[in-house]
Structure 1
Amino acid sequence: MIHIDQDDPARGDVSRLLNEHLADMFATSPAESVHALDPSALSAPSITFWTAREDGELLGCGALKVLDSPHGAATHASKKHGEIKSMRTTAGARGRGVATLMLRHILDAARTRDFERIYLETGTEDYFAPARRLYVRNGFTECPPFGGYTLDPNSVFMELRL
């Protein structure tokens, strides 16, 4: 059975997966279009980080970052927004539904915390097509850049109203 729990991004196997993720992002996209976070950035107080494991074996990870004002304007205090960060599945776990389980876990956490919207950024290259399909299947739609992002031909910005 797959279990999803909060975890430390600096943990050995997790750090290796995140470094692999970063290497793939830099190999796939121009450096200025890579927005993946390293393990230390994922340890920030505004980020909750989870891993998916089966019998102790790491299968994937994902994070939820609290956004202060996604479009640069002041938001009403009761409206909370978040961003999905560092969704990654290990090569051996791909095709097993781990990403879907992680995404649903993150969205459930956001709903529990009364978030109004969840945003994400992903790539436009073919490499990212499975991720884009996953997000669309789960109700995400394209939106303008949010937070500190700017228009970028290598990025797709998406949102989900909860």
Structure 2
Amino acid sequence: MRIARDDLRGPEIAAMLEAHLKDFEPHSPPESRHALDLDGLRRPEVHFYTAWENNELLGCGAFKRLDDTHAEIKSMRTDPAHLRKGVARAILAHLIEEARAAGLRRLSLETGPMAHFAPARRLYEAFGFDYCEPFGSYREDPYSVFMTRAL
């Protein structure tokens, strides 16, 4: 598996991110969906990465700088054909290392409390993320849980 910074120009990533956004529709109302679209992910404060094997897109993930020491994990997604193969684990490990290399000292994230998001929460817990209060511009929301970890 090869993980590399991505410019979000390929059609495969556009399709994966479209599926990522649609995946939230049955689980939370529009005002409680915090995923970034392509334009949001192309902003300079976002570091976006994709995982590939034999020219096949396996998954993606990003972190968005909130300030000089703190960033938020965004757009973690594994292609459904590659679930339970370690793709998300590899991407998250890569994001943590890239964030450390960028001088960040904390990573946080927002995800859903529903059963649909339980695998994601378990992954973050396994990587040392703890539940926390809302951070940045987030507010309490019954459709969100927040997690953080020091680097």
TM-score (norm 1): 0.91
Among candidates 93, 102, 108, match of residue 97 of structure 2: 108
Residue 90 of structure 1: aligned partner: 79
Offset, 1:149: 0.4
In the TM superposition, structure 1's runs of 4+ consecutive aligned residues that sit over 6 Å from their partners are none
Q: 2:51 — aligned with what? A: 52
Aligned residues of 1:9 and 1:40 also touching (Cα < 8 A)? no
Matched letter for residue 146 of structure 1: F
| Residue in 2 that maps onto 1:145 | 134
Q: CA deviation at 1:133?
A: 0.2
SS of residue matched to 1:145: coil
Q: Secondary structure at the match of 2:26?
A: helix
| Percent identical | 48
1:14 paired residue number: 13
TM-score, normalization by structure 2: 0.97
Structure-2 separation of matches of 1:38 and 1:89: 16
Counterpart Cα distance in 2 of 1:137 and 1:113 = 23
- Report the Cα offset of residue 11 of structure 1: 1.6
Q: Secondary structure at the match of 1:101?
A: helix
Q: Quick one: which amino acid aligns to residue 84 of structure 1?
A: I
The answer to whether the 8 A contact 1:10-1:39 is kept is no
Provide the alpha-carbon RMSD of the alignment. 0.9
User: Could you list the per-position Cα deviations for residues 29-66 of structure 1 after superposition, in whole angstroms to 9, with x for gaps in the alignment?
Assistant: 11111101111110000001000000110000000100
Structure 2 counterparts to residues 16-95 of structure 1, below 5 A: 16-68=15-67, 80-95=69-84
For structure 1, the 5+ residue unaligned runs are 69-78
Measure how far apart 1:26 and its partner are. 1.7
Query: What is the one-letter code of the residue matched to 1:142?
Result: Y
Instruction: Determine the structure 2 residue equivalent to 1:123.
Output: 112
Gapped runs of 5+ residues in structure 2? none
Q: Cα offset for 1:27?
A: 2.2
